[in-house]
Chains A and B, each alone.
Chain A
Amino acid sequence: MLNIDRRWIFLAIGVVSIVPFLIGIGMPVSTTVEVENIFDYVNELGKDDAIFISFDYAPGTQAENTPMAIAVMRHALHNDVSVFLTANQPLGHGMAIGALHYVTDPAIPDFYESVSFEDWSALRDAGIVDKDELVSAWESEGNVLPEGCSGWIFEGRDYALLGYAPVFNLVILGMTNSIEAQYPQDAHGNSTGEMPMLRDHKSLREVDLALSCSGSGACVWWITYAREKIGMPVAFGVTAVMATDYYPYIQSGQIIGQMGGLRGAAEYEVLLYENGVTVTTGKAFTGMDVQSAAHLLIIFLIIMGNIAFFAGGFHKKTALKGRG
């Protein structure tokens, strides 16, 4: 049994990864205090507040990190909180663009209709920057919100794609004094100095939260250079493998909460759904069925491997070998 061809194991993993997606079981996901803390914090924020979402991951970990970033982005946009999107690497920049496209895709429920920085320049020049006034003025110009859309989001007021800048740990350090100095232009070439959200939040000292979605240790930069230097609240969205490393930061209060792996993203999606922010859960919640099946299979393989090992007397052979 120990000599089973590993391709049968690969096939089993493939089957348990695909079938739950097709069946769509929808097992309930309970929430933990680590994720609830992030949700409650963002829920208290409003249209005068701003957060950073840093896409500190590459496509390899996007299955875990992207749903987290999208869930928090949806929550912030729902509360009219301004969202700065950054990345610590060029690939993260692409992930940020992909997440923004996902949130504004009409084919996906709970989408937002984006208005580019140039399109609403006339209203900006007229001094209309308050969100409610902006929406009224925009719609009075004949713009109609598409059916099923959750709302308008204005580039430069609701979100700014700042993107990647080199030596990102120093960029964070520099943003503690001035965001505009580090990002004179956003990723679309718009002058950040003209953005209402930059005028209201000139540095990280005036930003209410930094969420680092990370597949590497880069998330710790936000603690070192932002949390410890200026006391900025920080939250993590990390892969499940990394999540165990950062419990000390939760216990010491250096991060307000943590979303660990696909489970963390699923918990946030459940909180959004239960609190009426979204009409449906997302990809992470669907993925929990797959993760359940895969975990069960791996535990089964561990047990069967140990039974085969001990039943075959291999542990005795290993012990004899040790005595020479």
Chain B
Amino acid sequence: MIVLVGGILMIVQYFIPHQYSQNIFNYYTEWAPIVGAFALILGVGSLTRVHSHKIRRKAKNWQFSWAVLIPLYGMPFFALIWPQSLWGGMEEPGIFDFVFMHIQVPIQATMFSLLAFYIASAAFRAFRAKSALATVLLLAAVIVMLGQVPIGEMLGRWLPETGLWILRYPNLAAKRAIMLGVGFGILATNLKIIFGVERNWLGGAGK
């Protein structure tokens, strides 16, 4: 009922420019982030429960659960309760900033950087011109890849121009068709949720 009333209310509100409608909108936008923030409590609680069970039961790879829980509670501690620097003073960077910039950022950047190596390996092993369509795909990929880098322009002006043409016309047409399809799908799914046809999001309560 809440979803039905709220969903219809917000749809109708969007098309009514009256001040009363705007007040409802303002009220909603102030409350919604507060309600959404409670999802953080749910997420942290769930993560803590799962990993503390693993540690207690000494399940497989239970040691890695400590690697999850220690930063999960350590980082807020250093951010809120003890925001001092490594040298004990309040001058920057604090321990939180240090851990973020020198541990978390390099770790995440490294994880993404590994993709380059695996893509190169995949390029050698898997990118095959086994059919006419696959050949066209490979040719387009080579032209776009060369067109995106300065060396492609040095090889010939036609390379970046052809690459841009591929992106601005055939690629655009295909992407637009996909986006339209996805958009209609989202519309249909949301209407089903609002009108109660789709109730999987309720979990067990919907049965």
Contact = CB atoms under 8 A, between A and B. Distances in A.
Contacts of B167: 243-244, 247
B26 A9 contact: no
A17 B128 contact: no
A199 interface: no
Contact of A30 (B100, B120, B153, B172): B153
Residue with the greatest number of chain A CB neighbours at <10 A, chosen from B36, B108, B123, B175: B123
Interface in A276-300: 288-289, 291-299
A193 interface: no
B102 to A, nearest CB: 11
B41 to A, nearest CB: 11
B127 A296 contact: no
A247 B123 contact: no
B171 A247 contact: yes
Given A28-B153, A240-B148, A305-B127, A10 B121 contact: yes
Interface string B160-175: 1000100110011001
B32 A13 contact: no
A217 B15 CA distance: 26
Contact of B150 (A94, A247, A288): A288
Contacts of B40: 166
Contact of A298 (B30, B36, B123, B179): B123
Residue with the greatest number of chain B CB neighbours at <10 A, chosen from A6, A174, A182, A298: A298
Contacts of B124: 4, 6, 9, 301-302, 304-305
B108 A58 contact: yes
Given A304-B124, A306-B128, A170 B176 contact: no
Contacts of B138: 302, 306
A137 interface: no
A295 B146 contact: yes
B59 interface: no
A324 interface: no
B116 A247 contact: no
B33 interface: yes
B2 interface: no
Contacts of A10: 117, 120-121
Contacts, number: 154
Contacts of B149: 263, 288, 291-292, 295-296
Interface residues of A, number: 63
B86 to A, nearest CB: 17
Given A251-B172, A302-B142, A173 B29 contact: yes
A30 B117 CA distance: 28
A62 interface: yes
A13 B33 contact: no
A231 interface: no
A318 B120 contact: no
Interface of B: 22, 25-26, 29-30, 32-33, 36-37, 40, 97, 100-101, 104-109, 111-113, 116-117, 119-121, 123-125, 127-130, 138, 142, 145-146, 148-154, 160, 164, 167-168, 171-172, 175-176, 179
Interface of A: 2, 4, 6, 9-10, 12-14, 17, 27-30, 32, 58-63, 91, 94, 97-98, 165-167, 170-171, 173-174, 177, 181-182, 240, 243-248, 251, 261, 263, 288-289, 291-299, 301-302, 304-306, 309, 315, 318
What 9 A-B pairs come out closest when comparing CB atoms?
Answer: A27-B150, A167-B36, A174-B29, A59-B108, A60-B112, A292-B151, A292-B149, A59-B105, A301-B124
18 contacts: A9-B117, A59-B106, A60-B108, A60-B109, A60-B112, A62-B105, A94-B101, A167-B36, A170-B36, A177-B29, A243-B167, A245-B179, A247-B171, A247-B172, A296-B149, A296-B151, A298-B120, A298-B145
